[in-house]
Structure 1
Amino acid sequence: MVVDADAQVNGATLSVVLKAFRIPQQAQNLLKKHGLPANPDANAWYSLRAWLNVLADLGKEYGSSTQYAAGLHIVEQCIWPAGLRTLPQAIESMNTALRCNIQGGNIGYYRSHPIGPNEIQVECFTPAPPDYESGIIMGLARKFKPAGALRVQVTPEKLPANSSAGLKRFRVSWR
């Protein structure tokens, strides 16, 4: 997926990397390595390309579980539409939240489709790594877990080999 060179991400989004590390200095060094501030201003805008490079380095240097951990914090750190009460509402709002936290050009999309009474398919076409996206979805699933559900699960779905780069699908289920 080609990202517009002028696309920007807000500082609230950058702060999730600080939450993903037990030692904040590691995260601050990673942000600085890519020309981003060690302590981003939540209301300022920064290069999306630099942020994507941070996410890529998270995976290379610290593993996919750290990308996942950063994604888990998105639900608490970033801007979401007001009034969300249910998991289906929260998942449906992901595309709106994307546009609140990232601006400019081709930034991708989120789509969701119910596939059963307790299952939703989420399609992401974004430049972010799959483990980061999985963490975002699981963070939402945990926060908005339906009453009476014992657990929620986010499972990546296999895509055809000829799928576009950046396309990811996940199945969200609760029991």
Structure 2
Amino acid sequence: MSMEFSCSDPGAVVRAANVRATLDAFKLMPAIGRRIVEKHDLRISDLRPDHFIRVQHWLNALKDIQTVVGPAKLRDVGRNVVESANIPMGEDTESILMNLDGIYYQNHRGDVGHYFSSRLPNRAIEVRCETPYPRNFEWGLIEGFCRYKATEGRRYSVEYINGPARALHTCTLIVRPLVG
């Protein structure tokens, strides 16, 4: 059964600051973002770095965003998460991607699935997503991590591969360094 939009651990929580990325993705229409977030028991005043909120509440809001606004907006939300996620200082993009599961659990508590990262030939990194987060959110998240360290002077391409329907594995992302 697919984990997408459904957290098997009802007590699982995520750093509230990460959820703020949902609002940041609605820069051009903040009222719509706020309305969707608040509809799912996510109070704006609770979206502070020191707070944790239920993963399922965020997933419900993300599902609503996909239905009401579309999957491209979920990708925007994923890209924005990097701005508020708890990421180890000093790590480069490739280290972040290879340690993504550990970083994920620095930002979550409970059973929320996993990221499986492996190195492929030609310095590519494969990230296999087995989390309750939606596919387009995952795609944006990996793109966000690839842009996060733009000061490194490196750029990356992110190839999205859809996972099988109703499987734990929602998608795979192949990250390749761009030459030049």
For residues 54 and 80 of structure 1, the distance between their equivalents in structure 2, rounded to whole angstroms, comes to 24
**Do residues 121 (structure 1) and 145 (structure 2) align?**
no
Which residue, 3, 7, 26 being the options, matches 2:8? 3
Q: What is the TM-score with the length of structure 2 in the denominator?
A: 0.86
Which residue, 149, 152, 158 being the options, matches 2:156? 152
Structure 1 range deviating more: 68-77 or 163-172: 163-172
Q: Identity of paired residues, percent?
A: 25
Matched to 1:87, the amino acid is: T
Shift of 1:144: 3.1
Contact kept in structure 2, 1:153 and 1:174, CA below 8 Å: yes
C-alpha RMSD over aligned residues: 1.9
Q: How does 1:88-167 map to 2 (within 5 A)?
A: 88-104=94-110, 106-144=111-149, 149=154, 151-159=155-163, 161=164, 164-167=167-170
Q: Can you give the 5+ residue segments of structure 2 that lack an aligned partner in the other structure?
A: none
Shift of 1:154: 1.1
What is the DSSP-based 3-state SS (H/G/I as helix, E as strand, rest coil) of the residue aligned with 1:73?
helix
Residue in 1 aligned with 2:74?
Answer: 67
Structure 1 range deviating more: 67-76 or 2-11: 2-11
Q: What is the TM-score with the length of structure 1 in the denominator?
A: 0.88
Count of residue pairs brought into register by the alignment: 171
What is the DSSP-based 3-state SS (H/G/I as helix, E as strand, rest coil) of the residue aligned with 1:82?
coil
**Do residues 76 (structure 1) and 86 (structure 2) align?**
no
Matched to 1:89, the amino acid is: S
Shift of 1:147: 5.2
**Do residues 173 (structure 1) and 176 (structure 2) align?**
yes
What is the DSSP-based 3-state SS (H/G/I as helix, E as strand, rest coil) of the residue aligned with 1:3?
coil
Residue in 1 aligned with 2:30?
Answer: 24
Cα separation, partners in 2 of 1:158 and 1:78, compared to 1, 3 Å: closer
For residues 153 and 89 of structure 2, the distance between their equivalents in structure 1, rounded to whole angstroms, comes to 24
Matched to 2:84, the amino acid is: Q
Contact kept in structure 2, 1:11 and 1:41, CA below 8 Å: yes
Matched to 2:122, the amino acid is: P
Matched to 2:61, the amino acid is: V
Shift of 1:158: 4.4
Shift of 1:174: 2.0
Shift of 1:166: 4.5
Shift of 1:157: 2.0
Matched to 1:128, the amino acid is: Y
For residues 141 and 38 of structure 2, the distance between their equivalents in structure 1, rounded to whole angstroms, comes to 24
Shift of 1:173: 1.1
Shift of 1:10: 1.4
